[in-house]
Amino acid sequence: MDTPDDSLTISRRDLMIVGAASAAATTAAAQASPAAPAVSAPPPSAQVSLQVNGKAHILALDNRTTLLDALREHLHLTGTKKGCDHGQCGACTVLLDGVRINACLTLAVMHEGAQVTTIEGLGTPRKLHPMQAAFVKHDGYQCGYCTPGQICSAVGVLDELRRGVPSHATGDLMARPLLSVDELRERMSGNLCRCGAYSNIVDAMTEVAGGRA
Ligand code: FES
Ligand code: FES
């Protein structure tokens, strides 16, 4: 019977020594030739001109800045609220060239030269916009967090109705959409209100549109 050749036998201790030596050699090699330092390029940026509430602004912005952040963080117009930042709540609604838009879902650099109207540009505490006054009259809010977005959206909705833009609730696409509770609720469905002021908001909008709630 063959006997094991002692010269070929590696003990567990020998194996550990060999492993530790090889790890040390690898570390030393890595230290001797360190990888090139990471160069962090500045984020791409651009100059953007916007007319906000009738005033011209030129902003130097990181290209990834949303319109919402440009308004709140750069122009300090904090009336426009950040709710979800994902296009799901409508708190950030503003009017862009007269059309309502979720400011959190669009980049400021996409709107060079655009006219933006925020809640601060609709009216003032001494001279409320008719929609603001109607919200007050009809208790169209409680905590008020969603309210700037609701009011901007409501102004946009009445303009859509005036222009005959149909909605999912419009029965006859060839006829002018009617001022109805169903139309208003459908068109305002992207503006959430955790306080549940929905029916009062519809009353306020109906009054401004000259209809009956
Ligand atoms: S913050 Fe823009 S939709 Fe919610
Ligand atoms: S008034 Fe509170 S969330 Fe609408």
Please tell me whether residues 98 and 157 are part of one structural domain: no
Domain that holds residue 160: 123-213
Q: Is 16 part of any domain? A: no
Question: Which atom in ligand 2 lies closest to the alpha carbon of residue 194?
Answer: 3
Reported as a single tens digit per residue, the pLDDT across 183-200 is 999 999 999 999 999 999
9 falls within a domain: no
Of the three residues 122, 141, 164, the one that is the final residue of a domain is 122
| In-domain check, residue 5 | no
Position 213 scores a pLDDT of: 47
Pair 173, 137 in one domain? yes
Which amino acid is located at 213 in the chain? A
Ligand nearest to the CA of 66: 1
- Residues 13-46 pLDDT 10s: 666 665 666 655 555 555 555 566 777 888 899 9
Sheet of strand 93-96: strand arrangement? 55-62, 45-52, 115-117, 93-96, 99-102
Q: Which of 122, 141, 165 is the last residue of a domain?
A: 122
**Count of structural domains within the chain:** 2
Examine the domain organization and report whether 96 and 134 are in the same domain: no
Residues 176 and 105 in one domain: no
Tokens 């109207």 -> residue: 117
pTM: 0.81
- Condensed to tens digits (0 to 9), the pLDDT of residues 50-81 reads 999 999 999 999 999 999 999 999 999 999 99
Mean of the pLDDT values across residues 179-186?
Answer: 96
Q: Write down which residue in 98, 122, 146 finishes a domain.
A: 122
Give the CATH number of the domain where residue 197 resides: 1.10.150.120
Q: Do residues 114 and 187 share a domain?
A: no
- Identify the H or E element spanning 50: strand 45-52
What is the total residue count of the chain?
Answer: 213
Predicted pLDDT of residue 20: 62
Average pLDDT, integer, range 134-139: 98
Please tell me whether residues 111 and 147 are part of one structural domain: no
pLDDT at 4 over 50: no
Ligand closest in space to the Cα of 67: 1
Residues 192 and 148 in one domain: yes
Per-residue confidence (pLDDT) for residue 27, from 0 to 100? 52
Tokens of 185: 């609720």
What pLDDT is attached to residue 41? 84
- The residue whose C-alpha atom lies closest to atom 4 belonging to ligand 2 is 193
Within-domain flag for 200: yes
Q: Work out which ligand 2 atom sits closest to the CA atom of 142.
A: 1
Q: In the structure, what pLDDT confidence band is assigned to residue 1 with cuts at 50, 70 and 90?
A: very low
- Provide mean pLDDT across the span 151-176: 95
- Flag whether pLDDT at 82 surpasses 90: yes
Q: Is the pLDDT of residue 176 over 50?
A: yes
**Rounded to whole angstroms, how far apart are CA atoms 114 and 133?**
27
Where residue 10 falls among pLDDT bands split at 50, 70, 90?
low
